Amino acid sequence: MSAPTPVLPATLDQIRQLHETAPARPGRPLVICDVDEVVLLFLAHLEEHMGRSGHRFLSHDYKLTGNIADAAGALLEATVVRALIQAFFDEWVERQQPVPGAADALASLAGAADVVFLTNLPGAWNREGRIRTLTSHGMAYPLVTNSGPKGGAVAALAAGRSAPVVFIDDSPSNIRSVRDSHAGSTLVHFIADRRFFAGAEDIEGTGLKTHDWRTATTYIRQVIGG
């Protein structure tokens, strides 16, 4: 059994980011959506990035640490994986392509709900680049940056909201964190890459697990009543 996911409080900066871009509307449904591997491709781009130096995934289990090897087949340590991911974002943060159907799906949902991005891409230096990328792909919604588990941030973003709240993310740890910190959220576990989707675990409390935005949109519309 895995240890409980720690719940971290939202930071003042996160709340400021939201309030600067999207005034709270308690009676309107809220869709809080992750970015990487949910609305922007991540794993396929990461594979391309790693392949230049001979790095590769060892399996399609849904994890990074413990699943990437170098050109000689040696498993990369956690610190090396973190550096690799940071180098990826340094190069790709404004080059990532959209997940098929994501822009149309969010546009459809935005007619009935507030849509907010909550992304684990810490640091002010890359927030504007991420916003530019999302906007260029037709997804110009408020964006809040986070570091670590997202439960505290979701609880703060949803505070005082009487209408349904939906949280969409690819990360099992984030799904659990939100489940444990904001019981009112409906959880959608979304992994765009079908290979890694097939290798991802089922998480207790999840309302839907999918790799397809049409399926997700139908389900979320049922939840929010739009």
| Structure confidence by residue, pLDDT tens digits, 154-193 | 998 888 888 999 999 999 999 999 999 999 999 999 999 9
Contact criterion met (CB below 8 Å) for 75 and 56: no
- pLDDT for position 121: 74
* β-bridge mates for residue 168, sequence order: 33, 188
pTM over 0.75: yes
* β-bridge mates for residue 56, sequence order: 69
Identify the residue with better confidence: 132 or 16.
132
Residue 98 CA to residue 225 CA, distance in Å, equals: 26
The mean pLDDT value for 55-69 works out to 92
Residue 155 CA to residue 175 CA, distance in Å, equals: 13
Show the tokens assigned to 169: 């993310």
- pLDDT for position 3: 40
- pLDDT for position 15: 63
Q: What is the mean pLDDT of the chain?
A: 88
Task: CATH 3.40.50.1000 in the chain: give the residue spans.
Answer: 12-41+96-224
Decide if pLDDT at 1 tops 80: no
Contact criterion met (CB below 8 Å) for 143 and 134: yes
Residue 226 CA to residue 220 CA, distance in Å, equals: 9
* Residue 78 neighbours by CB under 8 Å, 6+ apart: 65
pLDDT in tens, 32-50: 999 999 999 999 999 999 9
- pLDDT for position 56: 95
| Of 120, 199, 112, the residue nearest 152 (C-alpha) | 120
90 confidence band (pLDDT: 50, 70, 90): confident
Q: Which CATH superfamily is domain 12-41+96-224 in?
A: HAD superfamily/HAD-like (3.40.50.1000)
- pLDDT for position 133: 95
Percent of the chain with pLDDT over 90: 67
Residue 105 CA to residue 85 CA, distance in Å, equals: 28
Identify the residue with better confidence: 137 or 156.
137
Residue with tokens 């009543």: 225
Contact criterion met (CB below 8 Å) for 154 and 181: yes
The mean pLDDT value for 14-25 works out to 61
Decide if pLDDT at 13 tops 90: no
